[in-house]
Structure 1
Amino acid sequence: MNSKTKRANNQVNSVMNIQEQREMVEKANRILSEMRSFTWRDLETQGKFSKNEKLSFISDDMLIVGCDIGSETHYVRAIDTRGRELSKKALAFENDAEGFQKARDWAVQLAAANDKKQIVLGLEPTGHYWFCLAAWMISNGISVVQVNPYAVKQTKELEDNSQQKDDRKDPKLIANLVKDGNYGMPYLPEKVYAELRRLSMFREQLMEDRNRHMNRLHREMKIYFPEYKDAFGKIDSAFCIAVLKEAPFPEDILRLGAEGLRDIWHKAKLRGRGYSRAEEIVKYAETSIGLEEGTAAGKEAVRWFAEKITELDEELAEIENKLEGKCGEIPHAENVLEIPGIGGKILAGILAEMGDITRFDDVKEIQKLSGLGLVSCSSGKHKGETRISHRGRKRLRYWLFQAARSAVAHGEEYKWIHAHYTTRAGNPLQKKQSLVVIACKLLRVIYTMLKTGKKYDPEKLLKDIRYPESVQSAAA
């Protein structure tokens, strides 16, 4: 082939490449204009989003992108609905706007090259690192779904018969789970529910800090004043905290005497029966066996912990007020407070973890979300023991259990139910099992009240249970 023929072929190839590039750009622009993201509001509020509907949602013209979430770097791979990989290798991108745009452009180019019209991004929810990515992708036309991390771990050997699990292998495992309909729609709280959840989490963080400071305060006092519990009674009471800030150890108490302690409480403007304990505190200080070395540093530590506990109590009171205000913005939430034992603190915890009630079609979905769903392992003639799954939002499960304990303590109807379950002739339950059953019953009551706006009716609650006279008399 002479040089003229080579030049002519090169010119033809360059023209064809330019035309192909233009066609790809046109396809990409068309995809960008037609892309639409679907959220839980589109798919889960019109009835149950079943496995068949999940499979139907993943259509043949959809590019399936699997994403492994990291704290700073994410990895993605893409497949089609047959499971064939369309990406040559995993793409790494940073957790910022430039990285998100890079991943989106990469996905759009793959979709254009393989005649796909829509894009779905499947991810494994890792901590809080996926929040910003999911919100950004949804706002830019890409549907986001999530897969269970446990399912990813269980299927890691299906890909290559290897136990290896890394950031470059996981994206394809996630994409295959999405292809097979093993995914769910992510839920990020909005408006009042977002504020409620964040305030609830902040309250728990402050409580953890308070407990930590309280435990350290106990340690210091057990070293230098082992009799402090008998002397002060409740260590986090206002009277005790006021003394710990100024005279925490026996030598300080003996120097001040009973009148000095009363002066401390008087300056703090405290009222109550605590003044009568002044002489008793001095007596315990006189006979204390606490260490006398290192008391100067110990005093500083005790004063610091006491100050922090006081500050945290003030902050917690402010957070509680804000939580009650946010609960008041949720329709029919005030009706739930009519249930015996359900106060503002428990209600705020339940609503914060449960989120928008309209996304649930049945109360069993919330029961499963809380980890209170019943499971058993049975096969053939073997009947496994029934227990709760413990999978889901553990804080929701915690608040429902606390609601059950409080309801049994303060509501006569729940005392009767608890007595019935624990003393019935056939299959009596243990006390904790009974509380779990009552927690599920409370969940059904709360769900109905929030969904329909009905008032609390204890008589209706008891209609589905028959109480023998012996049980009623025992409960009374």
Structure 2
Amino acid sequence: MKYKMQDKQNQLIERISDQHLVVGVDIAQQFHVARAVNYRGIVIGDPLTFENDEIGFARLQEWMNELKDSKGHSTEIVGMEPTGHYWLNLSEWLYNQNIDVVTVNPHLVKKNKENRDNTQSKSDKKDALVIADMVKNGYYSFVRPTTEAFEKLRVLMSNRDVIVKRSVSAANQINRWVDVVFPEFKQVFKDVKGKGALTTLRLFPTPKELRSMEVQDIVKGWKTMMKRQPGIKKAQALIQLAKHSVGNNKAHDAYKLHLTQLLEEFNLAATQLEIVEKEVAEVLESISFADKLIGIKGLPQITLGGILGETGDLSNFAHGNSLLRHAGLNLAEASSGKWKGQIVISKRGRSRLRRYLFLATMSLVANNPEFKELHAHNVKVKKMKKMKSIMKLIGKFARLLVGIARSNEPYCPEKVQPLAA
């Protein structure tokens, strides 16, 4: 099936009829501003400023009903920018009132703000009118309502990103602490995040403590916290290195307190990460087609959770190309006359979804026989650069995801094989 974006754009424009009251809402933290136009772009009524609560939302609905009655419209469509998280409550409330809710790209709002008055001025009332014009012209996307499972995945994976950042930050600070206080430590433990290294840092982190200790004391300390210990040789090496350490030997108590707190932060992040990933696995079990996707060899479960958290139900996508556009992985070209510009990805979409699709494809190229063969074919036979091959395979992976979700059939390796030369 050939998928053309122009067909979708035409459908979006045709959807706006002469019976529509087109409303644009400029979103803010406390007060929103609404403007209305008809399908030709003629302004209807006065602007409305309403509160970000149920009373304000009811005022918006009453305002729209009055405009519909006065102008003879039978239905409405409300467009808004997905500004931070402030738009979520309003869109959910309108959706529950059976009102069509759409979003517009904030970048396009900025691009279109001079269409009416040919000035670079900006205000809430003007932005609301620009949004209404964009909806009237078909530059919008429908808000996809998600079920409980997909909403859980979105929240869990967003939470996981925060935890991972904290974990990485704590690990980096622990490395810095070691470099300042006991730089020779890494000669014994190459990875400071390893179990042996972390246990040693908890029990006797500074050279000052190690200098006065015996090998048996160190081994005995390890045995209290680990089933498998690093060994006598490493204990001897630690003591010898501590005796000749060039690390900072001042503010001993302050450095120890700092390290204790860093280790607590790192352990807390590790525990929270384990809980979140367990929850993600449980949610995936409740999604009908998730087991078919997990059956793709080389696709990490947690990465799949990230993809589904960003996309919602994949079976709602008409084609893999619409998923790529949702992620901002569709191609953009700048050409004029004889001049041919470089073709790049647009990046006008969900950045987190782009990241998960890229990570999933890299994992497939490394671990999935079919994708590995496709990548080798692209590089060796078609003479593609490696990154271009990866981007091409992301497109294939997107089509594979949507195809499996829509058909609810298991992964078939034979359909992914490259064509014979």
* Band of TM-score, shorter chain: over 0.9
The aligned counterpart of 2:20 is 62
- Determine if the alignment matches structure 1 residue 155 to structure 2 residue 147: no
Equivalent position amino acid for 1:333 in 2: A
- Aligned-partner SS, 2:43: coil
Judge conservation of contact 2:219–2:229 (CA < 8 Å) in 1: no
1:446 and 1:112, CA in 2 relative to 1: closer, same or farther beyond 3 A? closer
- Determine if the alignment matches structure 1 residue 140 to structure 2 residue 101: no
1:404 and 1:66, CA in 2 relative to 1: closer, same or farther beyond 3 A? same
The aligned counterpart of 1:434 is 389
Supply the distance in 2 between the matched residues of 1:276 and 1:450 (Cα, whole angstroms). 55
1:371 and 1:277, CA in 2 relative to 1: closer, same or farther beyond 3 A? farther
2:63 to 106, 111, 116: 106
1:71 to 29, 43, 60: 29
> Any runs of at least 4 consecutive aligned residues in structure 1 with deviations exceeding 6 A, and if so which?
none
1:116 and 1:54, CA in 2 relative to 1: closer, same or farther beyond 3 A? same
1:465 and 1:103, CA in 2 relative to 1: closer, same or farther beyond 3 A? farther
Judge conservation of contact 1:371–1:390 (CA < 8 Å) in 2: yes
Alignment of 1:28-39 (within 5 A): none
Equivalent position amino acid for 2:300 in 1: G
Bigger CA radius of gyration: 1
- Cα deviation, residue 179, structure 1: 1.3
Instruction: Describe the superposition over 1:373-422 as per-residue Cα deviations: whole angstroms up to 9, x where unpaired.
Output: 22222222222222222221122221121122222222333332222222
Q: % of aligned pairs identical? A: 31
The aligned counterpart of 1:298 is 255
1:377 and 1:451, CA in 2 relative to 1: closer, same or farther beyond 3 A? same
- Cα deviation, residue 175, structure 1: 0.6
- Aligned-partner SS, 2:132: helix
Alignment of 1:167-186 (within 5 A): 167-186=124-143
Judge conservation of contact 1:246–1:303 (CA < 8 Å) in 2: no
Supply the distance in 1 between the matched residues of 2:81 and 2:55 (Cα, whole angstroms). 21
- Determine if the alignment matches structure 1 residue 462 to structure 2 residue 420: no
Supply the distance in 2 between the matched residues of 1:422 and 1:175 (Cα, whole angstroms). 47
- Aligned-partner SS, 1:56: helix
Equivalent position amino acid for 2:251 in 1: G
- Cα deviation, residue 272, structure 1: 5.3
Structure 1 unmatched ranges of 5 or more: 1-47, 467-476
Supply the distance in 2 between the matched residues of 1:154 and 1:345 (Cα, whole angstroms). 37
Structure 2 unmatched ranges of 5 or more: 1-5
Supply the distance in 2 between the matched residues of 1:465 and 1:257 (Cα, whole angstroms). 67
Larger CA deviation: 274-283 vs 407-416: 274-283
- Determine if the alignment matches structure 1 residue 355 to structure 2 residue 355: no
- Aligned-partner SS, 2:24: strand
1:412 and 1:181, CA in 2 relative to 1: closer, same or farther beyond 3 A? closer
Judge conservation of contact 2:21–2:37 (CA < 8 Å) in 1: yes
1:448 to 397, 403, 406: 403
The aligned counterpart of 2:178 is 221
Judge conservation of contact 1:371–1:394 (CA < 8 Å) in 2: yes
- Cα deviation, residue 322, structure 1: 1.2
The aligned counterpart of 1:327 is 284
Instruction: Describe the superposition over 1:216-252 as per-residue Cα deviations: whole angstroms up to 9, x where unpaired.
Output: 2222222212233223221111222222223222112
The aligned counterpart of 1:316 is 273
Supply the distance in 2 between the matched residues of 1:57 and 1:239 (Cα, whole angstroms). 63
1:208 to 150, 165, 188: 165
- Cα deviation, residue 276, structure 1: 5.0
Judge conservation of contact 1:231–1:284 (CA < 8 Å) in 2: no
Equivalent position amino acid for 1:111 in 2: K
- Cα deviation, residue 463, structure 1: 4.3
The aligned counterpart of 2:3 is none
- Determine if the alignment matches structure 1 residue 372 to structure 2 residue 337: no
Equivalent position amino acid for 1:57 in 2: R
Instruction: Describe the superposition over 1:173-198 as per-residue Cα deviations: whole angstroms up to 9, x where unpaired.
Output: 00111111221101242211111111
- Aligned-partner SS, 1:285: helix
Equivalent position amino acid for 2:396 in 1: K
Judge conservation of contact 1:63–1:111 (CA < 8 Å) in 2: yes
Judge conservation of contact 2:18–2:38 (CA < 8 Å) in 1: yes
1:53 and 1:114, CA in 2 relative to 1: closer, same or farther beyond 3 A? same
- Cα deviation, residue 274, structure 1: 6.0
2:8 to 47, 50, 57: 50
The aligned counterpart of 2:187 is 230
Supply the distance in 2 between the matched residues of 1:265 and 1:72 (Cα, whole angstroms). 56
Supply the distance in 2 between the matched residues of 1:412 and 1:264 (Cα, whole angstroms). 46
Aligned length: 417
Equivalent position amino acid for 1:78 in 2: A
The aligned counterpart of 1:4 is none
- Determine if the alignment matches structure 1 residue 85 to structure 2 residue 43: yes
Equivalent position amino acid for 1:412 in 2: P
Supply the distance in 1 between the matched residues of 2:160 and 2:19 (Cα, whole angstroms). 46
- Cα deviation, residue 465, structure 1: 5.1
Supply the distance in 2 between the matched residues of 1:450 and 1:132 (Cα, whole angstroms). 29
- Determine if the alignment matches structure 1 residue 252 to structure 2 residue 209: yes
Judge conservation of contact 2:365–2:372 (CA < 8 Å) in 1: yes
Larger CA deviation: 317-326 vs 49-58: 49-58
1:192 to 149, 165, 186: 149
1:261 and 1:74, CA in 2 relative to 1: closer, same or farther beyond 3 A? farther
Equivalent position amino acid for 2:45 in 1: S
Supply the distance in 2 between the matched residues of 1:275 and 1:194 (Cα, whole angstroms). 51
Supply the distance in 1 between the matched residues of 2:378 and 2:143 (Cα, whole angstroms). 37
Supply the distance in 1 between the matched residues of 2:8 and 2:411 (Cα, whole angstroms). 32
Supply the distance in 2 between the matched residues of 1:443 and 1:253 (Cα, whole angstroms). 55
- Aligned-partner SS, 1:87: strand
Equivalent position amino acid for 1:456 in 2: Y
- Cα deviation, residue 83, structure 1: 1.8
Judge conservation of contact 1:74–1:94 (CA < 8 Å) in 2: yes
